[in-house]
Amino acid sequence: LFALFVGIALVKGGERFHAVRSLSQQFFDIMMMMITWVMKLAPLGLFALLAKLVATEAIRVLSRLAEFAVVVTGTTIFHGVVVLPLLLWIFGKMDPITFFKGTKTALITAFATSSSSATMPLSLKCAQENLGVRAQTAGFVIPIGTQLNMDGTALYEAAAALFIANLMGLDLSLGQQLIVCLTAMIASLGAPGIPSAGMVTMIMVLQSVGLPAEAIAILLPIDRLLDTVRTVVNVQGDMMISVVVDHHTKAPEIKV
């Protein structure tokens, strides 16, 4: 809130606060430079994490990780192939084959980039040109959906938190499991549409039931792989909702 007001005051003040504005810009540039260094080091860090995991925890953790990957991928695919198309059919009155044919370019791009934001221009194009969604609906629903609507991420974060609890031998009560699901939904709202963003907001989910945030290190090595499928479902959800909203906001035809 403070940052928001500082920003408003900077804009209102115009040239008077030029020095503070350029200081903020330079500070931002410094942060970006440091982040670039960290990103360059990340593959090595992941290699070290994975090497340590294999050397110390051996096959037990790895086979559990593989099981987790299969379960998460399976449920995410189920959500994308069964649940979402069913909702589209019921609420948007569009058959799933038409939907998948029209959106395949965006879905493949989401898979390849693991980024809803990078895919957004294509999602807009597919929705408007191939699914016949009006420009004003697509232009409103898809950008908001890209930021806020992430079914795949919510599903992943909830499953990951339960997996970590299970791995640590913690028995979560039903109430705690519901808290996990709820915070996963909220955390997915906050995740930006970039690769592995879900890993960051997942800290909130873990902490909601007292699990250590460091536990995400176990999932880091396989996250990039799982991110591909969940991003596809995130993007699919955005386009699907645009169809549903468009269907319900179209003015009824007037018969003369």
The pair of structure tokens assigned to 71 is 């379960």
- Residue by residue, DSSP assigns 62-122 as HHHHHHHHHHHHHHHHHIIIIIHHHHIIIII---HHHHHHHHHHHHHHHHHH--HHHHHHH
Which of these ranges, 85-93, 129-137, 170-178, 225-233, lies near ligand ASP under the rule CB under 6 A? 225-233
Smallest gap from residue 201 Cβ to ligand ASP (A): 8
Select 27 or 78, whichever has its Cβ closest to ligand ASP: 78
**Amino acid letter, residue 237:** G
Which of these ranges, 34-42, 99-107, 169-177, 191-199, lies near ligand ASP under the rule CB under 6 A? 191-199
3-state secondary structure 63-80: HHHHHHHHHHHHHHHHHH
Select 155 or 165, whichever has its Cβ closest to ligand ASP: 155
Which of these ranges, 30-38, 54-62, 109-117, 211-219, lies near ligand ASP under the rule CB under 6 A? 109-117
Residue 116 lies near ligand ASP (rule: CB under 6 A): yes
Query: Which bin fits 210, alpha (ψ -120 to 50), beta or left (φ > 0)?
Result: left
Residue 185 lies near ligand ASP (rule: CB under 6 A): no
Q: Which one of 76, 109, 183, 231 is in contact with ligand ASP (CB under 6 A)?
A: 231
Number of CB atoms found within 10 A of residue 112's CB: 13
Which of these ranges, 62-70, 131-139, 226-234, 242-250, lies near ligand ASP under the rule CB under 6 A? 226-234
Q: In sequence order, which residues have a C-beta less than 8 Å from that of residue 185 and are 6 or more positions away?
A: 154
The torsion angles phi and psi of 192, rounded to 5 degrees, stand at -75, 160
**CA dist., res. 128 & res. 137, Å (int):** 9
**CA dist., res. 202 & res. 197, Å (int):** 9
Smallest gap from residue 110 Cβ to ligand ASP (A): 7
Residue 153 lies near ligand ASP (rule: CB under 6 A): yes
Among all chains, which residue has been given the structure tokens 């070290």? 48
**Amino acid letter, residue 96:** P
Q: Which one of 109, 137, 183, 234 is in contact with ligand ASP (CB under 6 A)?
A: 234
Smallest gap from residue 187 Cβ to ligand ASP (A): 10
Residue least distant from ligand ASP (Cβ): 198
Which of these ranges, 5-13, 25-33, 47-55, 223-231, lies near ligand ASP under the rule CB under 6 A? 223-231
Smallest gap from residue 193 Cβ to ligand ASP (A): 4
Smallest gap from residue 72 Cβ to ligand ASP (A): 11
Q: Where along the sequence are the contacts to ligand ASP (CB under 6 A)? A: 114-116, 150, 153, 191, 193-198, 227, 230-231, 234
